[in-house]
Amino acid sequence: MAKLKWGMIGGGEGSQIGPAHRLGALADGKFEFTAAALDHRAEIGRDYAQRLGIVKDRAYGDWQEMLAGEKSRTDRIDLVTVATPNATHFEITKSFLEAGFNVLCEKPMTMTVEEGEDIVRIAQASGKICAVNYCYSAYPMVRQARAMVQAGELGQPRLVVTNFAHGHHADATDADNPRLRWRYDPALAGVSGQFADCGIHALHMASFICDDDVTTLSADFVSTIPSRVLEDDAMVNFRMGRGTVGRLWTSSVAVGRQHGFDIQIFGETGGLRWASEQPNQLIYTPVGGRTQIIEKGEAGLCDDAMRLSRVPIAHPEGFPLAVANIYCDLADAINGEARDALPSATDGLRSMMAVHTAVKSTKANGAWMDARPPMFR
């Protein structure tokens, strides 16, 4: 099958997430890197794109130029990735969907719930794919966890506990460093700092594995470093549609924790644990039985866990290949195969609703609130 043509906006030289997208998109030979507007500085972006092998007339200075250029081509790109800072996601994603492109947007998909609903409607009307990069959901053993819950191996999940708590913004003397400061500045980051940055990965993971949606939540946001306007620590309690109780802690001041993302699901007949720092292992305990380690690459895993593992048992694959799994599913979906696990615009909208509901709940001293997007009530 011919390779699909892939374009990228943002993710320029030195960016945090750009390399993971390039490694991921190109890992399996399903995409070729064809067009890009990589940087907010036009010439620097054009230069870097050409150094990465993009031909001159498709190394664009900005996304508007890229949209105009690609729209008019007969060999236009099949997929564009939006990996720019958060406040630009809505405008770029909307414009490319409306012009008939498939889009992979970084999280958070938008800044407001209304924008999120717009994207869901536009994606539906266009018939194009709008995926959101909740890439942790594409680790093979996370797919295995979801398959085990769906197969009833845990019974009904009673409780889900998830953390995404790291300590990399804990130094108060560095809090005014421009690289950190914008994340806690409402003008640049929106209504939420740490929860919108990391917490929504954990919330998406809870919904993804339990195959259920968050319905209500109660939040406690706090800025532990007083100069920060937005929260650097948050505790969010939530409930899901089938009654599962959820507990989520996210923090950027948890000194000593590195990546700090893990999840436990406690069901009627068994429990599961997965952690992003040991992504090849899923820890399973049946009620009354011994704890077992289920290993990526061993026999008997679900189809998705087998399909998305590339190297033999005990060899680490890691983060860029989790992103590659998102691109594998995207390539399949573009070619007409059903890939239901691919995080969608609806997931992006649900996250945005959770963020805004959590901010309101915090202001109301942790009052429980409806966290379902208005269009799904």
Which residues partner with 216 through β-bridges?
A: 239, 370
Q: How far is the CB of 134 from ligand NAI (least distance, A)?
A: 7
CA atoms within 13 A on the CB side of 63: 23
Cα–Cα distances (Å) from 311 to 22, 57, 233, 323, 327, in that order, read 19, 37, 37, 15, 17
Q: How far is the CB of 99 from ligand NAI (least distance, A)?
A: 16
Q: Are 22 and 8 a contacting pair, CB within 8 Å?
A: yes
Interface mask toward ligand NAI for 90-129; x: CB under 6 A: ----------------xx----------------------
Q: Tell me the window of 7-15, 143-151, 185-193, 241-249 that interacts with ligand NAI (CB under 6 A).
A: 7-15
Q: Which CB atom, from 95 or from 278, has the smaller least distance to ligand NAI?
A: 95
Q: Among residues 282, 280, 285, 289, which one has the least CA distance to residue 270? A: 285
Give the torsion sign (CA, 370, 373, 376, 377): positive
Q: How far is the CB of 95 from ligand NAI (least distance, A)?
A: 12
Q: Is 259 in the site for ligand NAI (CB under 6 A)?
A: no
Among 17, 245, 283, 369, binds ligand NAI (CB under 6 A): 17
Interface mask toward ligand NAI for 27-46; x: CB under 6 A: ----------xxxx------
Report the Cα 170 to chain-centroid distance in Å.
23
CB-based contacts of 52: which residues, under 8 Å, 6+ apart? Answer: 22, 33, 36
Interface mask toward ligand NAI for 48-67; x: CB under 6 A: --------------xx----
Q: Is 372 in the site for ligand NAI (CB under 6 A)?
A: no
In a 3-state reduction of DSSP, which class is residue 214?
strand
What residues from 134 to 163 belong to the interface with ligand NAI (CB under 6 A)?
135
Q: Are 12 and 310 a contacting pair, CB within 8 Å?
A: no
Which residue shows structure tokens 């599913």? 329
Among 84, 162, 309, 357, binds ligand NAI (CB under 6 A): 84
Q: How far apart are CA 372 and CA 377, in angstroms?
A: 6
Q: Tell me the window of 15-23, 143-151, 155-163, 215-223 that interacts with ligand NAI (CB under 6 A).
A: 15-23
Main-chain phi, psi angles of 37, to 5 degrees: -135, 90
Q: Which CB atom, from 37 or from 282, has the smaller least distance to ligand NAI?
A: 37
Binding residues vs ligand NAI (CB under 6 A): 9-12, 15-18, 37-40, 62-63, 83-86, 88, 106-107, 133, 135
